[in-house]
Amino acid sequence: MGTLIRFTKMHGLGNDFVILDNISQGIKVDSSLIRKIADRHFGIGCDQVLMVEPPNSPELDFNYRIFNADGKEVSQCGNGARCFGRYVYEKGLTDKKHIQIGTYSGTMEIDVSDLTHIRVDMGIPQFSPKAVPLNHKYFHKLANTGRYRINLLGNEREVTILSIGNPHCIISVPATSEAAVNEVGKALQEHPAFPKGVNVSFIQVLARNHVKCRVYERGVGETLACGSAACACVIAGILQEELNSEVKVDMPGGSLTVSWRPEMPVYLSGPAKSVFQGEFYLSINEEIF
C-alpha cells in the first residue's frame, strides 16, 4: 500500500524540475524523499523539486518552495519560478496573468502574459556580507560594490559576491569553454567563507548586451542553466561598467534575457516548458516504485 502522488516534469533551458501540487495533494516531504525523486537513475530525475502550496498571506496567490537535488531547501530559483508560473496558470490554479508568490527570501511576481517568454521580478540584489551570507574575513574587499579578492587553489582571484535571494560568486573569464567550472566551483562551494554554500558563475563578456555563462550550482553541480546566476552575472557586469542594462545571457541549455538598473529590481525573462506528467506511489517507508 502507498500514497499516489501526481507530478509534472518541466524545464527552463534544460534546468529541470519536478513540480508537486501540494494544494490538491497532502504531501509531506523531507530531504530523503527529495533525493529519491531527484535521482536520475532510480527516481524521476531533476535539478530541483518545486512545491506549489497555498499562500501564507492574503496578498499572495501561492507559496513557492524549492528543494535542490541534495535534499536541501533553498530560497530562490529563477528558472523554476518561470516553470512554476506556467504550471499554475495552465493547470487552472489561477487565471491571473501577474502572479504573486511567496518564497523564503520574499515576494516574487511572475508575468505569464506571454507563455513563450515568461518574465520574473527577482527582487533587488543585496551586497552586504550578512545578506549573502558571507564570512568576509577570508576575502580582501575592493573599493567597488560587491568586489573581493580571494586566494583560491593557489591563485589570487577577483570575484563579485551578492545575493539575489540566494548566494552568488561571479568570476570573469576569457572563455567559458576553458573555465575550471567543477574544480573552482567545488572549492568555493566548500569554502568556509560561505556558511550556506554558494552558486559559482563564470562569465565571458561578448558585447555590452551579450554574455556567456557557466554555473556550478550549490547542491547540484554544473547545470545547463540557472536563472538567478544569469541575473547575478549581469549585475556584476553592470557594476563593472562592462554591460548595458539589458543583456542576453547564453548558457549551455539556451539563452535568457536579464534587465537591471542599480537600486532597482532585476528582471529575468525566458522560456518554460512541460516535458511530461506522471504519478508514483510512495510506500510507507518512502520508497518510490
Half-sphere exposure of 10 (CA within 13 A, CB side): 23
Check whether 228 is labelled as a binding-site residue.
yes
**β-strand pairing of 210-217 with 273-283:** unpaired
213 is catalytic: no
Check whether 166 is labelled as a binding-site residue.
yes
Number of helices followed by number of strands (H, E) in the chain = 4, 19
Check whether 90 is labelled as a binding-site residue.
no
Check whether 227 is labelled as a binding-site residue.
yes
Contact 160, 147 (CB under 8 A): yes
Active-site residue, from 169, 213, 226, 231: 226
Check whether 78 is labelled as a binding-site residue.
yes
Check whether 135 is labelled as a binding-site residue.
no
- The rounded distance, in Å, linking the Cα atoms of 271 and 255 is 9
Check whether 48 is labelled as a binding-site residue.
yes
Beta pairing partners, 11? 16, 273
Check whether 208 is labelled as a binding-site residue.
no
Active-site residue, from 46, 77, 83, 169: 77
Check whether 63 is labelled as a binding-site residue.
no
226 is catalytic: yes
- The rounded distance, in Å, linking the Cα atoms of 231 and 78 is 9
Q: In 150-284, which ranges are continuous DSSP H helix?
A: 181-189, 227-239
Task: Give binding residues as ranges.
Answer: 15, 48, 68, 78-79, 166, 199, 217-218, 227-228
Task: Give binding residues for substrate as ranges.
Answer: 15, 48, 68, 78-79, 166, 199, 217-218, 227-228
Q: Which residues are known catalytic residues?
A: 77, 226
